[in-house]
Amino acid sequence: MTRIYLNNGWLYSPEFKAEMTKSDYTGNFEIVRIPHSFTVTPFNAFSTDIYQKNALYRKTFKTEASWNEKKIFLTIDGAAHESEVFLNGKSLAVHKCGYTAFTVDLTNSLNPTDCENVLAIRVDSRESLNQPPFGYVVDYMTYGGIYRDVYIDVKNPTFIEDVFIKTYGTEYTADVKLSCENRQSPYKVSNKLISAKNVPFTTDPEKEIKLWSPDEPYLYTLITELSDESGNLIDSKETRFGFRDIRYDESGFYLNGKKIKIRGLNRHQAWPYVGYAMPKNMQIEDADILKYELGLNEVRTSHYPQSHYFLDRCDEIGLLVFTEIPGWQHIGNAEWKDLAVQNVREMVLQYRNHPSIFIWGVRINESMDDDEFYTRTNALAHELDPSRPTGGVRFLRHSNLLEDVYTFNDFSFYGTNDGCLPKKKVTKTRKGYMITEYNGHMFPTKTFDNEPHRTEHALRHAKVLDAVAGHEEISGSSGWCMTDYNTHKDFGSGDYICYHGVLDMFRNPKVAAFVYQSQQDSKVVGDVLSITSSMDIGEHAGGARGDVYIITNAESVKMYVNNIFIKEYTVAQSPFKNLSHGPILIDDYIGHRLVDEDGIKEKHSVPMKDMLFALQKYGVDKLPFFIYILYMDIKEVFRNAILLQ
């Protein structure tokens, strides 16, 4: 097989006309490169109308002599949202999903050898389309354009159409699907396993197999070869995969027999200005940020399948992936539902060899129960991939559970209550249970909010993580969310942005990001240290500093002021007892200085230090009454405090 990428040199028109698909049309076009977005958007405060278009891409290519007696296929990895492919003015196919790939057979519509072909692709991004995720409101912008790769594959008439590798521990089976023009001819299919180091095995493969896991993401390649009866090679296909065994039950999530507590975030595949249209290197960078900067072991691709470049990187670095079909709350009519079922088919078939994917999301995010509809989606996922469990993200307590795992968006935490609900208050099922969203809209936070707000945001993430860690029956959680994102006018902060991320849209960290970073082992990633305040009084009402926390993965932190030792803080002092490294409250800025530098007696220094700390924390006018009661009989200390006021 030969693959030819067609990402360069496209002509683009923001308005589609049927005559544009033909070679003799010479109207105004803009020259663009794939990945491409219909519109370069402002950073914020823009309407979705700016990208809702029925547009056209056009490109010419020559029929090569080497293509004689070959099959020629065009693949579009992602185009938002309805696409129609034309070749030489003839419509060949329509695809109604903006988040999965589709392939079109061009063979019988090509012009003769050495002649030019006109390839045209109509892309409709209007939200009036009767397909997921459209039909009502959507809490994220959906953009428009061909935003993933476009390529041509040149194949023999008989070829390997698909290979699906199912693994159970160190054992595997390979389901090979052939496309054969002459089914009377005998063919031979053989498989050769290549090790994680990309070399053939020297001895028995089963003795050398290493399992894929977040800590050790070993990958293997299966080379599948198709030969004729004489032994001549007709086609070959390389499939990368990982050996691992998945089990999900009421006690939790198990990978290779080891229980893993899931700690992750949700991700939108959007960036400022260009929407979805980001190339391979940026997809890789997002995966690396999640794994190495934020220290996560899981990501949920909300609310649609995402780039294979992103998933490939998750495979390589050991980042578990929860992926789901497109949608947000709304369930449409019969035609709409049929397309959603087709979305399940395309998602599973296209992504099932990624070892990082540990569960399929087969419900429309946060939709109501629809047993007939979800019986179809769940059954199809199991039919196409019996090796993975299914889930369906809901906000409903005691929802009907047709899938294998009850996946629940728990937004019960409002700041002063328990960080999450126990499983028994959400569902009585004896199946697995996972929290798939928390925080988010409960406490939107901008990078330019004041310090108390950003600190509270971080503490809310810590409190939920701590609560989840304390519930054995909860397999883990995905917080909402990785980054801020543009949204529709019905949501967000009035400027078309949801400030729900632990990172901003440019991937810059907020204070909450360090809560996740600090859960990593310092021996593996090095030291993480962040203080939730710059100590600038102008950040705080009345100059009262409030609570300040140390966020770190170190076992202890020593605090100094101008090289003078104040206090050593240890991980044991954190109030977040279920976290390996919870935030630690700073409760002393003075240390022994009153005695050492000012000659205050030891017995007087302690209450005086407490008074000074209270003044810094609460301010002069808001001292709690207990401060006065506590020290009213210590005249010297009280007099000094009054003087300070």
Rounded (10°) angle between helices 334-351 and 308-317 = 40
The gap between the terminal CA atoms of the chain, to the nearest Å, is 81
Q: How far is CA 456 from the centre of its chain?
A: 24
Which of 432, 426, 516, 528 is CA-nearest to residue 478? 516
Residue type (1 letter), 428: K
CA distance 480 to 501: 7
To the nearest 10°, report the CA torsion of 588, 594, 638, 626.
20
335-339, long-range: CB within 8 Å, 24+ apart, which pairs? 335/130, 336/130, 336/131, 336/132, 336/135, 337/373, 337/376, 339/96, 339/97, 339/131, 339/132
User: Of the listed 366, 403, 451, 456, which one is catalytic?
Assistant: 366
Distance, CA of 605 to CA of 593 (rounded, Å): 9
C-alpha to C-alpha distance for 589 and 617, rounded to whole angstroms: 11
Coil vs helix vs strand at 230: coil
Distance CA 560, CA 546 (A): 19
Is residue 576 within 8 A of residue 582, CB to CB? The reply is: yes
182: left (phi over 0), alpha (psi -120 to 50) or beta: beta
Neighbours of 575 (CB within 10 A): 14
* Nearest to 145, CA basis, from 114, 120, 121, 109: 121
Q: Which two tokens stand for residue 536?
A: 């600038």
- Cis before 81 (ω within 30): yes
Rounded Cα gap, residues 418 and 440, in angstroms: 16
The alpha-helical segments, DSSP class H, found in 259-319 are 280-288, 308-317
Cα–Cα distance, 243 to 219 (Å, whole number): 8
Q: Within 13 A of 213's CA, how many CA atoms are on the CB side?
A: 17
Q: Annotated catalytic, 437?
A: yes
Tell me whether residue 161 is one of the annotated catalytic residues: no
Instruction: Please give the Cα distance from 237 to 192 (Å, whole number).
Output: 11
Distance (Å, whole) CA 318 – CA 287: 10
Contacts of 217 (CB under 8 A, 6+ apart): 242, 315, 316, 317, 318, 355, 356
Catalytically annotated residue among 324, 403, 437, 456: 437
CA torsion angle 247 250 253 255 (round to 10): -30
What Cα–Cα distance (Å) separates residue 83 from each residue in 53, 98, 99, 491?
12, 8, 11, 28
φ, ψ for residue 531 (rounded to 5)? -105, 135
Question: Percentage helix, strand, coil, to 5, in the chain?
Answer: 25, 30, 45
- Residues with a known catalytic role: 366, 437
